[in-house]
């Protein structure tokens, strides 16, 4: 008698490995990065310090932070050949395709001359250096992507600005008020890390084959693009655009639910009673609404949330407040998921290094439910193959 395999579709509920990088606790609705509650980090730290924390396990002291900032500043420029390749990506391709392509080229440039795939996975020191380079250059790639679509040239980075302010400078050509820089910094911190989510797991699977860090990040970018994952922040804005204003929420939702549409920005595989990151991002959105005098955005946000939660009991995730927040800051909707890449690259690379420090090839099993064994018409096995078949038959008996 054959027993039915215990299949965990989507790996739901499966614990694959330990991680010391973050803890998602749906019971207490909390998220810890290396033990620190994420809302405390968002309220007190620059994004560079959180990147350091994820990579090293401790917050940096002043000297360590200054050293990381010096390195980050030295890799901020968009290299001319990377710009040239971005320029060859069709202007109407999705910016995630552009970011994925640019990240791939950055990896190929960095690993050029490596003779054998046996050296690809690199030492811990090499991988930390690669992580810092990617972290530093991604803002230039994302910022240029938005500018290119608006027919504008890239803007050179400014050495007198920290990561968040410089990112906004390279995108818009000015540095907005502190309230905007602060909201952007918070969003980067909230997006940085979230345990074994789909893109991080993708990165760990690729790293587990002893491929290189860049390949793992490129794969992760592909996973993040999907609307069930990072693409949801962009999708939220499309929904807001469809609805228009708060007075249209009820009929819009009636229609959407009648057609069994998924409402992007709501629901989560792990959190079932609300996403721990939402209150911090919603507070940042509120400051932006106030700053820009855009009360109608908050009205639409609140109305859709209260209607959907009361009808379905499904709560907003981080993409729900971050989508409208990025819109208010001036980012174009297709740029939202690339912003998520720039933030999450810190978590991905921390996980890649953790995976390599205690590696086991990730290779699950599957249960076959295809056709029974059959044979190609006219095939006559030679002697060696006949012996193999006979042994297989013997083993099956
Ligand atoms: N709108 C409508 N129905 C939903 C939604 C939603 N946003 N989310 C879940 N449901 C329903 C779903 O239709 C299903 O109903 P039924 O049992 O009647 O078929 C039930 O709730 C369970 O949903 P599921 O998709 O099987 O649950 P899951 O744990 O696999 O889903 C999810 C998690 C994030 C894929 C899902 O909630 C979803 O598709 N949400 C919309 C996309 C989204 O906002 N993604 C961002 C996730 S958080 C940020 C990130 O990690 O990138």
Residue of 11, 187, 267 with the most ligand 1 atoms within 8 Å of its CB, for mutation: 267
Ligand 1 center–CA 328 separation, angstroms = 26
Domain at 232-325, CATH from 1.10.230.10, 3.10.20.30, 3.30.300.30, 3.30.450.20: 1.10.230.10
Q: Which two tokens stand for residue 369?
A: 């439910």
Burial 252-286 (b: 16+ CB within 10 A, else e): bbeebeeeeeebbbbbbebbeebbbbbebbbebbb
CA distance 245 to 332: 19
Taking the domains of the chain in order of start, what are their residue ranges?
Answer: 17-230+332-357, 232-325
Res 281 pLDDT > 70? yes
Q: If pLDDT is split at 50, 70 and 90, which confidence band does 394 have?
A: confident
The H or E element spanning position 86 is helix 80-88
Catalytic site positions: 268, 319
Higher pLDDT, 204 or 381: 204
The reply to whether 232-325 shares the fold of 17-230+332-357 is no
Backbone phi, then psi, for 33, in 5-degree steps?
Answer: -100, 115
Long-range pairs, 241-248, Cβ under 8 A, ≥24: 243/300, 243/304, 245/296, 245/299, 245/300, 246/296, 246/299, 246/300, 246/302, 246/303, 246/304
For domain 17-230+332-357, the CATH superfamily is Citrate Synthase, domain 1 (1.10.580.10)
What pLDDT, on a 0 to 100 scale, did the predictor assign at position 3? Answer: 79
Report the chain's mean pLDDT, rounded to a whole number: 95
Res 397 pLDDT > 80? no
CA distance 205 to 320: 28
Mean pLDDT over residues 349-373, rounded? 97
CA distance 394 to 390: 6
Write the DSSP string, 129-159: HHHHHHHHHHHHHHHHHHHHHTT-------T
Query: pLDDT for 218-272, tens place per residue?
Result: 999 999 999 999 989 999 999 999 999 999 999 999 999 999 999 999 999 988 8
What pLDDT, on a 0 to 100 scale, did the predictor assign at position 17? Answer: 97
Query: pLDDT for 80-89, tens place per residue?
Result: 999 999 999 9
Of ligand 1's listed atoms, the one at least distance from the Cα of 265 is 44
What pTM did the predictor assign? 0.94
CB 359 within 8 A of CB 208: yes
Query: pLDDT for 112-171, tens place per residue?
Result: 988 788 888 999 999 999 999 999 999 999 999 999 999 999 999 999 999 999 999 999
Residue with CA closest to ligand 1 atom 3: 262
Residue with CA closest to ligand 1 atom 36: 267
Ligand 1 center–CA 212 separation, angstroms = 32
């Amino acid at each position: 008698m054959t027993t039915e395999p215990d299949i965990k579709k989507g790996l739901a509920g499966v614990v694959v490995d330990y991680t010391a990088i973050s803890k998602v606790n749906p019971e207490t609705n909390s998220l810890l990065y290396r033990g620190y509650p994420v809302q405390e980090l968002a309220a007190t730290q620059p994004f560079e310090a959180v990147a350091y924390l994820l990579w090293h396990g401790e917050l940096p002291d002043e000297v360590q932070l200054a050293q990381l900032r010096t390195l980050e500043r030295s890799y901020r420029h968009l290299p001319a050949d990377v710009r040239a390749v971005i320029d060859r990506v069709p202007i109407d391709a999705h910016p995630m395709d552009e970011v994925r392509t640019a990240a791939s080229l950055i990896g190929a440039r960095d690993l050029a001359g490596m003779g054998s795939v046996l050296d690809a996975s690199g030492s811990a020191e090499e991988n930390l250096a690669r992580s810092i380079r990617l972290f530093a250059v991604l803002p230039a790639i994302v910022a240029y992507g938005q500018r290119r679509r608006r027919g504008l040239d890239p803007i050179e980075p400014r050495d007198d600005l920290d990561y968040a302010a410089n990112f906004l400078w390279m995108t818009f050509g000015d540095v907005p008020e502190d309230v905007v820089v602060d909201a952007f910094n918070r969003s980067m911190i909230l997006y940085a890390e979230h345990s074994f989510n789909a893109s991080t797991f993708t990165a760990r699977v690729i790293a587990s084959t002893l491929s290189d860090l860049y390949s793992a990040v490129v794969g992760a970018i592909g996973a993040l693009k999907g609307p069930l994952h990072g693409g949801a922040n962009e999708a939220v804005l499309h929904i807001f655009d469809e609805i228009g204003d708060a007075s249209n929420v009820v009929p819009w939702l009636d229609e959407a639910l009648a057609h069994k549409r998924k409402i992007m920005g709501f629901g989560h595989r792990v959190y079932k009673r609300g996403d721990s990151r939402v209150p911090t991002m919603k507070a940042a959105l509120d400051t932006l609404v106030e700053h820009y005098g855009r009360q109608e955005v908050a009205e639409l946000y609140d109305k859709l949330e209260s209607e959907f939660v009361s009808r379905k009991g499904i709560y907003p995730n981080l993409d729900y407040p971050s989508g409208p927040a990025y819109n208010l800051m001036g980012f174009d909707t297709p740029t939202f998921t690339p912003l998520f890449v720039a933030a999450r690259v810190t978590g991905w690379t921390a996980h890649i290094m953790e995976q390599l420090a205690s590696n086991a090839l990730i290779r699950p099993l599957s249960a076959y439910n295809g056709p029974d064994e059959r044979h190609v018409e006219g095939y006559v096995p030679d002697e060696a193959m006949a012996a193999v078949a006979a042994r297989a038959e013997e083993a099956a008996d």
